[in-house]
Amino acid sequence: MIKGHGDDAYLYGHITTDFSSNVCQSDVHAPLMAHLAARPELIAHYPEPEAWSLERLIASRCGVDHRAVIVTSGATEAIYLTAQAFRMRHRCQQPTFSEYADAIRMFRSENPCGRARWLCNPNNPTGRACPAEEMLQIARHEDLLVVDQSYEHYTAVAMLSPQEAVAAGNIVQIHSLTKTYAVPGLRLGYMVAAPPLARRLRRCLRPWSVGALAVEGGRFLMTTQQPVRVDLTEAQRLRRRLMELPGVVVEETDTNFMLCQLAGATAASLKDYLARTHGMLIRDASNFRGLTDRHFRVAAQTPDEDDALVDAIRTFIETKSAER
């Protein structure tokens, strides 16, 4: 695992606006906290060894066999379980979420059997998304396709459904309730795969990996709350405004977050300036494989906050230009 993911406000201590995390703002936190506070007995007992009750609820909502669902401690545990269960020749597109490569290295086999391809859809950090039919076409040419759909609710592009993933027979689909309900501290995700694949994954699952509060929180969220609402219109407006800045290139995106490149200065220097001078946090994307020290990522916030970010970056660029 690398250091330097987003949401590292702890390094600064006075951040007022966080553009570094792709997780959207949400109004589910107050009702969730009230619900969990009313269940103090949960912390006095072990949770289910495996989160069977939540798995059955998810399976019912997804329209798949409950044996096809595995609840995990965030999507990250699902990533490492998949690399452990399938000792194959793994390939990852780049740039993408670094934990795929880290998990593959951790469980590398001397005698790999078969080919596995990993895709993040929508992709982090680029924000680009592939429609479901394209995913199915890719799967037809692979022994195993691992599709991380953590940001599936952050795009208007039609995503691969759990039913399609199970029917394909060679797809492991990763989901993140962290992203769906904006609760990263809860650490809750799940995998969907055809039962033979799921059985193989479950053999690597640690007992009690998902805590009782997370299981109860997941049940509450799925039965009472709606997924986060993403303002893609505002994201596109922010992209256009950023592209007006001299020396800033912004890639196309299908989500609320976007990958940018800065001329004339490093992303690290921009990040430090914004954090210390304006209380704004961006994601230095230089530690994504295939990117440079000039790449950074931002996620759209409110219109006023986005405009303030653009103004602050403009001031940084003008200051750097004057220094030269």
Considering the domain architecture, whether residues 237 and 267 belong to the same structural domain is answered as yes
Considering the domain architecture, whether residues 185 and 279 belong to the same structural domain is answered as no
Specify if 216 maps to a domain.
yes
- pLDDT digits 0-9 by tens, 148-186: 999 999 999 999 999 999 999 999 999 999 899 999 999
Token code pair at residue 143: 């022994």
- Report which DSSP code applies to 265: S
Amino acid 191: pLDDT: 98
Token code pair at residue 314: 């403009």
Specify if 43 maps to a domain.
yes
Specify if 4 maps to a domain.
no
Using the predicted structure, report yes or no on whether residue 237 has a pLDDT greater than 60: yes
Amino acid 2: pLDDT: 52
Q: Where are the beta strands (DSSP E) in the chain?
A: 17-18, 69-72, 89-92, 115-120, 144-148, 171-176, 189-193, 248-250, 257-262, 280-281, 283-284, 295-299
d(CA 306, CA 298): 10
Report strand pairing: 257-262 vs 295-299: antiparallel
Average pLDDT over residues 220-243: 96
Strand order in the sheet with 248-250: 248-250, 257-262, 295-299, 283-284
User: How many distinct structural domains can be found in the chain?
Assistant: 2
CATH number of the domain within which 47 lies: 3.40.640.10
SS3 146: strand
- Report which DSSP code applies to 121: S
Considering the domain architecture, whether residues 238 and 211 belong to the same structural domain is answered as no
First and final CA of the chain: distance in angstroms?
37
Tell me which residue range forms the domain holding 115. 29-224
Considering the domain architecture, whether residues 51 and 131 belong to the same structural domain is answered as yes
Specify if 18 maps to a domain.
yes
CATH number of the domain within which 313 lies: 3.90.1150.10
Amino acid 6: pLDDT: 62
Considering the domain architecture, whether residues 262 and 195 belong to the same structural domain is answered as no
- pLDDT digits 0-9 by tens, 310-323: 999 999 999 988 88
Amino acid 5: pLDDT: 63
Average pLDDT over residues 221-247: 96
Considering the domain architecture, whether residues 195 and 319 belong to the same structural domain is answered as no
* Domain end position, chosen among 161, 191, 224: 224
Specify if 238 maps to a domain.
yes
* Domain end position, chosen among 192, 224, 256: 224
Amino acid 11: pLDDT: 76
Amino acid 45: pLDDT: 94
Average pLDDT over residues 253-282: 97
Specify if 115 maps to a domain.
yes
Specify if 304 maps to a domain.
yes
Average pLDDT over residues 281-310: 97
Considering the domain architecture, whether residues 129 and 144 belong to the same structural domain is answered as yes
* Domain end position, chosen among 179, 207, 224: 224
Considering the domain architecture, whether residues 50 and 14 belong to the same structural domain is answered as no
Report strand pairing: 69-72 vs 189-193: antiparallel
Instruction: Assign 7 a pLDDT band (cuts: 50, 70, 90).
Output: low
Q: Which residues contact 90 (CB under 8 A, 6 or more apart)?
A: 83, 100, 104, 112, 116, 117, 118
Specify if 66 maps to a domain.
yes
- pLDDT digits 0-9 by tens, 24-70: 878 889 999 999 999 999 999 999 999 999 999 999 999 999 999 99
Considering the domain architecture, whether residues 136 and 18 belong to the same structural domain is answered as no
Considering the domain architecture, whether residues 18 and 52 belong to the same structural domain is answered as no
Considering the domain architecture, whether residues 125 and 47 belong to the same structural domain is answered as yes
Considering the domain architecture, whether residues 143 and 38 belong to the same structural domain is answered as yes
